[in-house]
A = this chain, B = another copy of it.
Amino acid sequence: MNFGHFDDEKREYVITNPQTPWPWINYLGNEDFFSLISNTAGGYSFYKDAKFRRITRYRYNNVPMDNGGKYFYINDGGTIWSPGWKPCKTPLDDYSCRHGMNYTVIKGAKNGIEAEVLYFVPLKTWAEVQKVSLKNNTDQSKKIKLFSFVEWALWNAATDMENFQRNFSTGEVEIDGSTIYHKTEYKERRNHYAYYSVNAPIGGFETDRETFFGLYNGFDEPQTVLEGGPRNSVAHGWSPIASHFVEVELQPGESKELVFVLGYVENEQDDKWESKNIINKTKAKATLERFNTAEKVDAALAELKAYWEKLLGVFTLNSKEEKLNRMVNIWNQYQCMITFCFSRSASFFESGIGRGMGFRDSNQDLIGFVHQIPERARERIIDIASTQFPDGGCYHQYQPLTKKGNNEIGQGFNDDPMWLILGATSYIKETGDFSILVEPVPFDNEPGTEVSMFEHLTVSFDHVVNNLGPHGLPLIGRADWNDCLNLNCFSNDPNESFQTTENKTEGSKAESLMIAGLFVVYGRDYVELCRKLDKNEEADRAQKHIDAMVEAVKQHGWDGEWFLRAYDYYGNKVGSDENEEGKIFIESNGWCTMAGIGMEEGMVAKALDSVKERLDCEHGIVLNNPAFTKYYIEYGEISSYPAGYKENAGIFCHNNPWIMIGETVQGRGDRAWDYFRKICPAYTEHLSDLHKVEPYVYAQMIAGKDAFKPGEAKNSWLTGTAAWNYYTITQYILGIRPTYDGLLMDPCVPAEWDGFQVTRTFRGTTFNIEVTNPNGVMKGVIELWIDGEKADGSLVPIIGKASCEVKVIMG
């Protein structure tokens, strides 16, 4: 069942039934000020850091689920309704929610009144703008009462929901004309406040939540709205909110527009006050000035759309697969950018409290957006590398506000360093900007410790080399990419986090075949980079380690039909046929086949066939099989999940592309495509009832075949899945792959595809690429034409021209 449809022309998903199986959300803002908004206007805003600068309050996992947001209430002659259906839930005559690129438009109609709310964060603006359009479609004049609503969070989202002893006494506001200022704690150490305003005179306001709702009323029936007017409450402690009251008179057919602005301001410490206890409002007023008419708002929206037009235009696919075009051209790229902006911090599954920027996450995310915003990718790579230790080890996360490593989340995930090589080389391949390699970058953000970025890559490479186990395979450390495979943890205390509890790595024999494959893949990238830089001695040295690793994998990492997953603390096999549960895992088979290890011996094909036979199912490829049905203290968190969910045999979408790429290494485009389609949201839209989460973005996890409800998805939006699928479809299936020296044409598609066109802007040139497949092959380029000239091989070199016509003939 569908709850809406794609509007590719407008780059929107249009929801027409408010009762989606889960809140279907969108993200506003892409630099400093951010909002999450559901299809019924639920959600919240924050500035840069979802934990430390939460602007509006949101309650996760509430009853009903998505409760609280940027609500508008209309009292039309006693009938109370909201344009987004919720929170009033008054049945509407018409409803739609259009989620577009960083904007959302929610429209509702009731009794001849149409109310549309446009929500977006204008470019370079520390504010969310809401344009409310009201139209009277009746033949009578109408006077309606409009109430806005936001609830202020007391800045720190964690203590906001814990420390009521303090919180219930600290709330402070200031009201100035049509603007309500939230200044809790501004008197003391904060240099920031928030505000909510409307570009019209108001008939009153509320700033005290209890006065607005009444102590016993829910979001669906605020006392003030029911009573038809506010009491002009001034919050002192308890829970400050901001609600404007505007009476709007509409003649038959008349429309009126109001602009609400929810903003954030930081002042200099010595410029905080206008007069004693009266905040300096200069910056807020300047922002309000920028959006004080509907026309200015429309212009800002047009700018935002132009911005996205440009971002998304770097890669455009035209194929016979409409759903694929939609994902590649719009939604997958959009999700990559959102993931860049939010990392794993704030979604309707991530509470914005627990997680900063991940070292490995951020590097992987980068492969999904580096072509769109290379300059911000560059900055991100330097930020990430600056948290590294001199031995190549890493904090697992860093805080977005301070950019410092977050020690609370631990260290010692031994795959982490290798991802930096992926991030840096991807950036250079996209941009040709080798200058990043000579940037001075500190260790652990310690001034004075700076070495070149290139040296960071070297210590990253060497971190694996210097941490090998008894089989010459990489020691797993705290865990590798699968941070639920905690081979050195041995946790038996339920209050311990598997991620941070003491890890018994001393004397451990736990080795990871996944890191082994990763090392071979990105080690080769490192070697290639060295050669490019004429550092041939270093390249030779590195190559020897890679060769040794390949041998170690063949000798100690092959289980007969697939690659082992790991050796545990005691040196026992994990992911072997000799195990009772968890006989085979996806990660090692993905990376070792991507690395082509044992290709000639048939290991790659055999491993991939085993994956197909044992891990594949209707909804995607599960992580391991059989699922664990009891707790293994020597494996840790993976065995703590119910069978079929998350790391315990769920379809962890992030890693499915590794198998897809492995299949392209083997040349099997049909299998790669089949896997791609299974987890691709546009292709599962009709399963929305089962799938639950948004049909326009990837979810981190789909319940696997061992689950109670296979196919049910969770943790949508913020997942490396977006980047990996985008990377895989564009670079390995469509096969348009940036290299240091040009764009490589290396498609690997189903034999029945007869071709496709791609427009790709790369190093200043727009390449119009036409791929044809006259012989119905899955892989192989027999002819390459560049601007009408036949070329050798399959590399399109860098040319200085603005545009270039490329023809690729497969065969």
Selected A-B contacts with CB under 8 Å, 22 pairs = A59-B62, A60-B161, A61-B161, A61-B239, A63-B217, A65-B216, A161-B161, A165-B715, A168-B714, A168-B715, A169-B650, A170-B641, A170-B645, A185-B640, A187-B642, A189-B491, A189-B492, A190-B494, A236-B642, A237-B714, A276-B629, A276-B630
Task: Note all chain B residues with C-beta closer than 8 A to A640.
Answer: 170, 185, 187-189
> Once the chains bind, are B714 and A169 in contact (CB under 8 Å)?
yes
A215 at the interface (CB under 8 A from B): yes
Kindly identify which residue among B60, B164, B210, B495 contacts A156, using a CB–CB cutoff of 8 Å.
Answer: B495
> Once the chains bind, are B60 and A67 in contact (CB under 8 Å)?
no
A646 at the interface (CB under 8 A from B): yes
> Once the chains bind, are B349 and A168 in contact (CB under 8 Å)?
yes
Using known A-B contacts A164-B349, A351-B162, determine if residue A237 contacts B645 with beta carbons closer than 8 Å: yes
What does the 1/0 interface line of A9-22 toward B look like (CB < 8 Å)? 00000000001011
A277 at the interface (CB under 8 A from B): yes
Chain B nearest CB from A160 CB (Å) reads 8
**Of all chain B residues, which has the CB nearest A701?**
B169
- Complex: how many Å from CA A104 to CA B496? 36
A705 at the interface (CB under 8 A from B): no
Chain B nearest CB from A143 CB (Å) reads 28
- A interface with B by C-beta (< 8 Å): 19, 21-22, 52, 59-65, 67-68, 86, 89, 151, 155-156, 158, 161-170, 172, 185, 187-190, 209-210, 213-220, 234, 236-237, 239, 276-277, 349-351, 353-354, 491-496, 629-631, 639-642, 645-646, 650, 700-701, 707-709, 714-715
Q: A21-B215, A60-B161 are in contact. List 15 more A-B contacts (CB 8 A).
A: A59-B59, A63-B209, A65-B215, A161-B161, A161-B351, A162-B351, A170-B640, A170-B641, A170-B642, A185-B494, A187-B631, A189-B491, A218-B218, A234-B708, A237-B645
Chain B nearest CB from A57 CB (Å) reads 8
- Complex: how many Å from CA A753 to CA B63? 55
> Once the chains bind, are A629 and B277 in contact (CB under 8 Å)?
yes
> Once the chains bind, are B218 and A64 in contact (CB under 8 Å)?
yes
**Of all chain B residues, which has the CB nearest A348?**
B164
Chain B nearest CB from A270 CB (Å) reads 13
- Complex: how many Å from CA A162 to CA B60? 8
Chain B nearest CB from A648 CB (Å) reads 9
- Complex: how many Å from CA A166 to CA B629? 17
> Once the chains bind, are B494 and A708 in contact (CB under 8 Å)?
no
> Once the chains bind, are A707 and B642 in contact (CB under 8 Å)?
no
Task: Note all chain B residues with C-beta closer than 8 A to A164.
Answer: 60-61, 349-351
> Once the chains bind, are B60 and A68 in contact (CB under 8 Å)?
no
3 nearest A-B pairs in the assembled complex, by CB-CB distance: A236-B708, A188-B631, A188-B640
Task: Note all chain B residues with C-beta closer than 8 A to A492.
Answer: 189
- Complex: how many Å from CA A715 to CA B163? 11
- Complex: how many Å from CA A495 to CA B187? 15
- Complex: how many Å from CA A56 to CA B313? 51
Q: Which of A61, A163, A167 has the most CB of B within 10 A?
A: A61
Task: Note all chain B residues with C-beta closer than 8 A to A170.
Answer: 640-642, 645
> Once the chains bind, are B642 and A172 in contact (CB under 8 Å)?
yes
Using known A-B contacts A63-B209, A162-B351, A215-B19, determine if residue A189 contacts B714 with beta carbons closer than 8 Å: no
**Of all chain B residues, which has the CB nearest A85?**
B216
- Complex: how many Å from CA A714 to CA B167? 11
**Of all chain B residues, which has the CB nearest A156?**
B495
> Once the chains bind, are B169 and A64 in contact (CB under 8 Å)?
no
- Complex: how many Å from CA A708 to CA B169? 11
> Once the chains bind, are A215 and B645 in contact (CB under 8 Å)?
no
Task: Note all chain B residues with C-beta closer than 8 A to A210.
Answer: 65
> Once the chains bind, are B714 and A494 in contact (CB under 8 Å)?
no
Using known A-B contacts A189-B631, A349-B165, determine if residue A62 contacts B62 with beta carbons closer than 8 Å: yes
> Once the chains bind, are A216 and B169 in contact (CB under 8 Å)?
no
- Complex: how many Å from CA A213 to CA B187? 43
> Once the chains bind, are B709 and A236 in contact (CB under 8 Å)?
yes
Q: Which of A169, A219, A350, A707 has the most CB of B within 10 A?
A: A169
- Complex: how many Å from CA A491 to CA B189? 8
**Of all chain B residues, which has the CB nearest A402?**
B495
Chain B nearest CB from A596 CB (Å) reads 33
Kindly identify which residue among B86, B166, B188, B493 contacts A494, using a CB–CB cutoff of 8 Å.
Answer: B188
Task: Note all chain B residues with C-beta closer than 8 A to A52.
Answer: 495
> Once the chains bind, are B216 and A494 in contact (CB under 8 Å)?
no
Task: Note all chain B residues with C-beta closer than 8 A to A65.
Answer: 210, 215-216
- Complex: how many Å from CA A163 to CA B629? 23
- Complex: how many Å from CA A496 to CA B189? 10
> Once the chains bind, are A63 and B213 in contact (CB under 8 Å)?
yes
- Complex: how many Å from CA A166 to CA B350? 10
> Once the chains bind, are A189 and B19 in contact (CB under 8 Å)?
no
Kindly identify which residue among B161, B219, B349, B350 contacts A63, using a CB–CB cutoff of 8 Å.
Answer: B219
Task: Note all chain B residues with C-beta closer than 8 A to A714.
Answer: 168-169, 237
**Of all chain B residues, which has the CB nearest A155?**
B494
> Once the chains bind, are A19 and B216 in contact (CB under 8 Å)?
yes
> Once the chains bind, are A639 and B188 in contact (CB under 8 Å)?
yes
**Of all chain B residues, which has the CB nearest A89?**
B216
Task: Note all chain B residues with C-beta closer than 8 A to A650.
Answer: 169
**Of all chain B residues, which has the CB nearest A23?**
B215
Task: Note all chain B residues with C-beta closer than 8 A to A239.
Answer: 61
Chain B nearest CB from A573 CB (Å) reads 22
- Complex: how many Å from CA A138 to CA B443? 80
Using known A-B contacts A164-B349, A170-B641, determine if residue A213 contacts B60 with beta carbons closer than 8 Å: no
Task: Note all chain B residues with C-beta closer than 8 A to A167.
Answer: 61
**Of all chain B residues, which has the CB nearest A708?**
B236
**Of all chain B residues, which has the CB nearest A350?**
B165
Task: Note all chain B residues with C-beta closer than 8 A to A237.
Answer: 642, 645, 714
- Complex: how many Å from CA A60 to CA B166? 14
Task: Note all chain B residues with C-beta closer than 8 A to A217.
Answer: 63-64
Task: Note all chain B residues with C-beta closer than 8 A to A715.
Answer: 165, 168
Using known A-B contacts A187-B631, A640-B185, determine if residue A169 contacts B646 with beta carbons closer than 8 Å: yes
Using known A-B contacts A209-B63, A645-B237, determine if residue A494 contacts B161 with beta carbons closer than 8 Å: no
**Of all chain B residues, which has the CB nearest A719?**
B165
- Complex: how many Å from CA A164 to CA B276? 43
**Of all chain B residues, which has the CB nearest A493?**
B189
**Of all chain B residues, which has the CB nearest A219?**
B63
Task: Note all chain B residues with C-beta closer than 8 A to A188.
Answer: 494, 631, 639-640
**Of all chain B residues, which has the CB nearest A640?**
B188
- Complex: how many Å from CA A234 to CA B629? 18
Q: Which of A86, A164, A190, A708 has the most CB of B within 10 A?
A: A164
Chain B nearest CB from A645 CB (Å) reads 4
Chain B nearest CB from A352 CB (Å) reads 9
